[in-house]
Homo-oligomer: A and B are copies of this chain.
């Protein structure tokens, strides 16, 4: 069988790897939501073993030969199979680029640094982070060099390619330059306008957790989340996990502020709908996976930022919020609620940032991580560079490194090259939403009635069901008429924040 049909044998093997990865995804979800604290070492051993098993399947000695022979017979494959084979090769090249001692060293360095980071952040002590952080950067560079050689890319592009296949610095530099040309000035203008419009009325709590949870479930359902194929639970950091047939989203509740949990649910629901909409026949093969982090983030931001902070949706949701918490009064009028959900202000913390300031947080990180990886910025000098960049881009300087350069887990965790996908995702979200509004008449009216079917139908057809059959720019071009750009994002911000 292997000799006769190398492609079929590859499908069989990648199907098995998918099952191992999906098992791992559920175990990871359990670790963050259900697992008792004393089981972490046990769980780490399970996950490490599944990781090794998957890795060994991928780098099996005959894989190179199977791939080559399948590629020779590529002419006989239909579009999806040919694309699947391309994705197999891509995944194999990434995984095969790293010798297994480097994979192990990376895992060890990241977990040591992550532990040090929790302490260092708590103590606002960047110096205490330096030893393990230096090790992570050293190993990340070795990983980047190995992948760069295998993929024929620069070091940074090779790292980025793991999160966003086909993502390249040159495109990011150009897009970020366009954003930088208007965003700081726009931020000033928006802030002046909002100041002139006067203070918003705060929503008066407390907001019982159970009422928040029920509202979250109701809203997730409204957007299209199917609870026969998913769950909503609690974790310290919200995420979307599980599998396409079993999507697990999480949030966290604060009785003083229901907006964080609710907006978190809407955001994760966007991710979840993408997973749930992946092509049914291919979701257990590489070509049926989500395309990359740019489109993934575009789906969460499209729901959270584009659709759910629109006038239309806030008008729909506000009476439901009032009902959920038994509230009334001027603070709970639609206009005030809308102003709350579109409030813009520079802050220290990326995850709390509004959509105007968020890209500035990302630009700062992108600059710094490129400089560090290029050897142009020593880790000892990183806090200074961070604070200078915050001053320049957002006009504020964090009081300490815990709310400054140590706020995110990404770098200690070894995720270098990840940050730009957040902002590329925001651009893609704006571009996709604009295209959806153009091609689906009455889209905003439907959203205003809590009917997301027209939007979801368009996303299913134009994004979700494509899986990884084409690259991000091709999917975007087919859906919107153009590759990724900044125009729709700029137009969206102007319309929402600066329209007369």
Q: CB within 8 Å of B: which residues of A? A: 16, 19-20, 22-24, 26-27, 30, 34-39, 41-43, 45-50, 52-53, 226-231, 243-246, 284
Contact = CB atoms under 8 A, between A and B. Distances in A.
A177 B174 CA distance: 86
Contacts of A26: 26-27, 30, 43, 46
Interface centre among A23, A35, A227 (most CB of B within 10 A): A23
A39 B246 contact: yes
B227 A36 contact: yes
A42 B228 contact: no
Interface centre among A24, A37, A46, A231 (most CB of B within 10 A): A46
Nearest to A53: B53
A37 B228 contact: yes
Given A39-B229, A39-B243, A46 B34 contact: no
B30 A49 contact: no
Contacts of A227: 36
Given A42-B245, A246-B36, A50 B231 contact: no
Contacts of A30: 26, 30
25 contacts: A16-B49, A16-B52, A16-B53, A19-B45, A19-B48, A20-B50, A20-B53, A22-B45, A23-B47, A26-B26, A26-B27, A26-B30, A26-B46, A36-B228, A36-B230, A36-B231, A36-B246, A38-B228, A38-B229, A38-B246, A39-B245, A39-B246, A42-B243, A42-B244, A53-B53
Contact of A38 (B35, B52, B245): B245
A19 B46 contact: yes
Given A20-B53, A46-B23, A49-B23, A41 B245 contact: yes
A36 B284 CA distance: 19
Interface centre among A30, A36, A226 (most CB of B within 10 A): A36
A26 B24 CA distance: 11
A43 B246 contact: yes
Contacts of A20: 46, 49-50, 53
B27 A42 contact: no
A251 to B, nearest CB: 16
Given A36-B231, A39-B246, 16 more contacts: A16-B52, A20-B50, A20-B53, A22-B45, A23-B23, A23-B47, A26-B43, A26-B46, A36-B229, A37-B228, A38-B228, A38-B245, A38-B246, A39-B243, A41-B245, A45-B284
Contacts of A53: 16, 20, 53
Contacts of A37: 228
Contacts of A35: 246
Nearest to A23: B46
